[in-house]
Amino acid sequence: MDRNQFIGLVLIFVLTFVYFQYIAPPPEEIALSDTTQVETPEATASDSAPAADEQLIPTAFSQLQNDSLPTQEIVFENEVLRIQMSSRGGYPQSVELKHYKTYAGEPLFLLVPQYQKRRFIVNTRHGALDLSQLHYSVKKQDKQELVLEAILGEGKRIVQTYRFRQDVPYLLDYSLRSEGLEQDLLAGIAFDWQASMLNTEKDVTLSRSKATVNYYTTEGGFDGLNEMSSEAKEESIASPIVWTSFKQQFFSAAIIHPAASFQKAQLFVAPPADENSSIVKHYGMRWESAQKLSSLDFQLFFGPNKVPILSKVGYDFEKNVYLGWSLFRWINRYIIIPIFNFLEQFIDNYGLIIILLVLIIKTALFPLTYRSYIGMGKMKVLQPEIQALKEKYSDPQELQMAQMELFRQVGVNPLSGCLPMLLQMPILFAMFMFFPNAIELRQKAFLWAEDLSTYDSILNLPFNIPFYGDHVSLFTLLMTLSSIAYAYYSSQNTASSQAGPMQYMGYFMPIVFMFVLNSYPSGLSFYYFCSNIITIGQQLIIRRFVDDEKILAILEENKKKQKNGGKQSSFQKRLEEAMRKAQQAKKK
């Protein structure tokens, strides 16, 4: 392994380790304000309802709205969602995603009533009124629409309308309007929503690292609270907000308000105090508006974090799927995901899809692989001459000038073996972002891996190994072995002048990545295993047609052209200019 390869691998490792292995102190218990507090499992009895909220129904309306009214369960569903509501409040309390199951094979509930509550408070001349404490009756219900109304007096009512969208079945249009209350209502609206979401995946640690509150404002666009933090995070927003989502690894619950008439917001997210809890995280939001309630239009999203679905919502809602920084996001958004979605239309074996994805990408990158191989081969062939120059010149500056002259004579760019490999790095990092967030791989089995979206385990250890885990991933082991094989094969085609520990770095880095990737999705390790095998195969093919003797012949031909005044490349011109400046500096 030459110096350029070593630097490249070290950079890859450092960036990957810092980004994916962020270590934070354990979570602490913190006090929350009344307006943002989420009832946690530790604060309430298991499977019981949260503590009752302060009664916010002024006496002017209490004659028709009191706790003596019977409570009715309301079910509103389509082909993908089953939403349960109570006549008290008239908002979604339980949301089941019909086409998905938990890792344990049970029905997947995105929201459950015992770990969720909502308050929609408006100001009236009689005092604060919580619309979520009113009793509603069904005015209309069919397969597409549900209309609920709460009677507050003669000709006075609050009407809630839910309507399933045809283009996005996970999205509902939701409207809230007042009728006959113009003389009662005052300016001021506050919307509180808190929820504790249950774990639905095999690896709750990975799920927590992908769970957060995201939002979109008219001024700042998309943003979110730090999902990697193991401590509670709060944020106050002083600009019109369009949407807020409670995001898990593969699913989100969100409210969207395109009119952006809420000028302030407070957001909150926190992990459970007990790391063994079935809760992924606690979420909270509060929107505030200075307007007077008349009619408000929202959208509610309960569904999977799948880019083609989320992109139909608008307002950068697809960014709930984290695909990396701008360049990596672009690669995933417009190259990787379209290829993946195209292949899954015809193939239901996702291991085979990953293999085909590797083949497509490696074929597209083959010209870079070829140039990298040839560049490293040229440097290897030149090693005897470079070594002779090192023995001849003891002065580093003279040695550098002599090497530059040699490169000029044979027409070699010393970076030609490294640059093509570095140009492939965006694909490498894009894959690191794609696989942990790819719901397409969720619960898709391949060979011994039960679920390609999480780690595969062939051996569960009775203890935990720091930075490694309590299990052994076979796909990660195969990836490690193939990386070592690739490092060995590459060393046969590169300059072997490295001595000491440097010559072992190519074998050390795969061991490091074995620790890093052991708990990452098995689909990612399988992808890199296939990529290594195909890369070795490509180099074997190249080597069969281009050996050291052919490369040496090319270099000798370049020497003859230079002696005969042949046309110089731009790199050779830059070399000559650098040599000229170096000579001038030495004379001074």
Segment 112-132, tens digit of pLDDT: 999 999 999 999 988 899 999
Q: Are residues 111 and 238 part of one domain?
A: yes
Among the ranges given (242-246, 261-265, 485-489, 574-578), the one the predictor scored with the smallest mean pLDDT: 574-578
SS3 510: helix
**Higher pLDDT residue, 212 or 56?**
212
| Same-domain check for residues 189 and 45 | yes
The more confidently predicted of residues 186 and 544 is: 186
Indicate whether 109 and 178 sit together in one domain. yes
In this structure, the answer to whether residues 166 and 258 fall within a common structural domain is: yes
Asked whether residue 402 is assigned to any structural domain, the reply reads no
More reliable by pLDDT, 388 or 18: 388
Pick from 8-12, 25-29, 509-513, 553-557 the range whose average pLDDT is largest: 509-513
Q: Residue 370: name the closest of 507, 551, 571 by CA.
A: 551
Res. 418: pLDDT tops 70: no
Range of the domain at 448: 3-18+333-365+424-539
Residue 25 lies in a domain: no
Percent of the chain with pLDDT over 90: 53
Going by C-alpha positions, the residue among 586, 369, 331 that lies closest to residue 486 is 369
The count of domains in the chain is 2
Is position 385 within any domain? no
Last residue of a domain, one of 259, 291, 322: 322
Clarify whether residues 208 and 282 are in a common domain: yes
Q: Are residues 126 and 254 in the same domain?
A: yes
Instruction: Mark whether 260 and 350 lie in a shared domain.
Output: no
Q: Which of 295, 322, 349 finishes a domain?
A: 322
Which has more confidence, 287 or 577? 287
Structural domain contains residue 545 = no
Q: What are the tokens at 37?
A: 């507090």
Residue 151 is assigned to a structural domain of this protein: yes
Cα 280 from Cα 199, distance rounded (Å): 5
pLDDT at 90 over 80: yes
Q: pLDDT tier at 572 (50, 70, 90 boundaries)?
A: low
Asked whether residue 552 carries a pLDDT value surpassing 90, the answer given is: no
Domain stops at, among 524, 539, 554: 539
CATH of the domain at 186: 2.70.98.90
Token pair of 62 as six digits? 């209490």
> Where is 161: in which H helix or E strand?
strand 156-164
Per-residue pLDDT reduced to its tens digit, 259-297: 999 999 999 999 998 888 899 999 999 999 999 999 999
Residue 561 lies in a domain: no
68 vs 587, more confident: 68
Q: Per-residue pLDDT for 188 more than 60?
A: yes
pLDDT of residue 492: 66
| Same-domain status, 311 and 338 | no
Query: What pLDDT sits at residue 479?
Result: 94
- For position 18, what pLDDT does the model report? 47
> Residue 33 has what pLDDT?
34
Cα–Cα distance, 117 to 203 (Å, whole number): 27
pLDDT band at 370 (very low <50, low <70, confident <90, very high): confident
Give counts: helices (H), strands (E), the chain.
17, 21
Q: Please indicate, yes or no, if residue 416 is contained in any of the structural domains.
A: no
Asked if residue 451 and residue 302 are part of one domain, the reply reads no
Amino acid at 13: F
The answer to the question of residue 377 being in a domain is no
Residue 446 CB neighbours (<10 A): 21
Q: What SS3 string covers 110-143? A: EECHHHEEEEEEEEECCEEEEHHHCECEEEEECC
Closest CA to 93 of 70, 117, 77, 69: 117
| Dihedral sign (CA 575, 581, 584, 586) | negative
pLDDT digits (tens, 9 = 90+) for 463-518: 889 888 899 999 999 999 999 988 887 776 655 445 445 556 667 888 888 998 99
Q: Of 23-32, 198-207, 406-415, where does mean pLDDT reach its minimum?
A: 23-32
Same domain, 251 and 359: no
- Percent of the residues in the chain that have a pLDDT greater than 70, as a whole number: 78
SS3 390: helix
Same domain, 345 and 472: yes
Residue 68: band (very low, low, confident or very high) from pLDDT cuts 50, 70, 90: low
Q: Residue 55 and residue 66: Cα distance in Å, rounded?
A: 10
Same domain flag for 356 and 287: no
